[in-house]
Amino acid sequence: MSILIDKTSRLIVQGITGRDGRFHASRMKAYGTHVVGGTSPGKGGELADGIPVFNTVREAVWKTAADTSVIFVPAPLAKDAMMEAADAGIKLVVCITEGVPTLDVVEAYSYIRRKGAHLIGPNCPGLISPGRSLVGIMPTMIFREGSTGVISRSGTLTYEVVYNLTEKGLGQSTAVGVGGDPVVGLYYRELLEMFENDPGTDAIALIGEIGGDAEERAAEYIRDHVTKPVTAFIAGQQAPPGKQMGHAGAIISSGSGTAAEKIAAFEAVGVPVAREPGQIPELLRSRR
């Protein structure tokens, strides 16, 4: 089993005629994702690697019954792209674009929720259910089908943790990169709930980083609602206060959001925290 995407997902690629959209559309199609179309205003009727191109998302959904969208458009256009997808009936919107203004994300996310859809991202690598479907830019060769759910704020740390899991024989049910911006769509709480309810997931690896209080709130949710074993890793343990580390959301401010606080929150509810990513597989094995 998996969460959010599987072999039945029908994907359109917004921005498919651009460099990144075309490249990753081909990769997702080659992996086995059911890429049913793409959009690029003014280029409807063309083909991109054999994938039909439409002028609008509404037209694409009408002609292909798409239910999922991945967005590769410039940051100034991302808000409209996200809202267009939800307005057309797309149920899962995945925005890869980085540099989207925070207020644009706030507006788009609110609109998407009102439409009853889910948002992943922006500024994220997307998600993958190994052996079933890829929606995004994750390197497929390191993933292996299995039963460990992965949630991460960091794209590259997702890959490092997954590589270690796969090397130790722990495959993944679904891996989700939520994005590192101050405001994003689905986050730890919602995804923890999905993995808790997924019969194909028997353990969860959670990768956090400094900044904000999402990890602390995730720890509270795990304490009250999650019965499956969870192991965490917090990036930025050596970051000085007030210093932004990589992601726009990875900044310690007003004395909060430190790695020590996040680690303490997890350990207080019985979630072991790895000191380095390579320790996660053994910590998960010890709790199964």
Task: Say whether 139-287 and 10-120 share the same fold.
Answer: yes
Taking a C-beta distance cutoff of 8 angstroms, is the pair 171, 148 a contact?
A: yes
Neighbours of 119 (CB within 10 A): 25
pLDDT at 250: 47
pLDDT at 237: 67
| Radius of gyration in angstroms for the set of CA atoms belonging to the chain, rounded to a whole number | 18
| Residue ranges per structural domain of the chain | 10-120, 139-287
* CA dist., res. 247 & res. 152, Å (int): 12
Provide CB contacts within 8 A for 78, sequence distance 6+: 71, 95, 97, 100, 104, 108, 122
Side chain identity at 138, as an amino acid letter?
Answer: M
Q: Please report the sign of the dihedral spanned by the C-alpha atoms of residue 172, residue 151, residue 9, residue 60.
A: negative
Provide CB contacts within 8 A for 247, sequence distance 6+: 123, 153, 154, 180, 181, 209, 211
pLDDT at 137: 98
pLDDT at 254: 46
The CATH superfamily of 10-120 is NAD(P)-binding Rossmann-like Domain (3.40.50.720)
Active site residue 247: yes
* Active-site annotation holder among 24, 34, 118, 247: 247
10-residue block means of pLDDT along the chain (288 residues)?
95 98 98 98 96 98 98 98 98 97 98 98 97 98 98 92 97 96 95 98 94 91 97 78 54 63 94 94 88
- CA 81, 87, 88, 93: dihedral to nearest 10 degrees? 50
Angle, vertex CA 138, rays to CA 209 and CA 278, nearest 5: 50
**Overall fold of domain 139-287:** Rossmann fold (3.40.50)
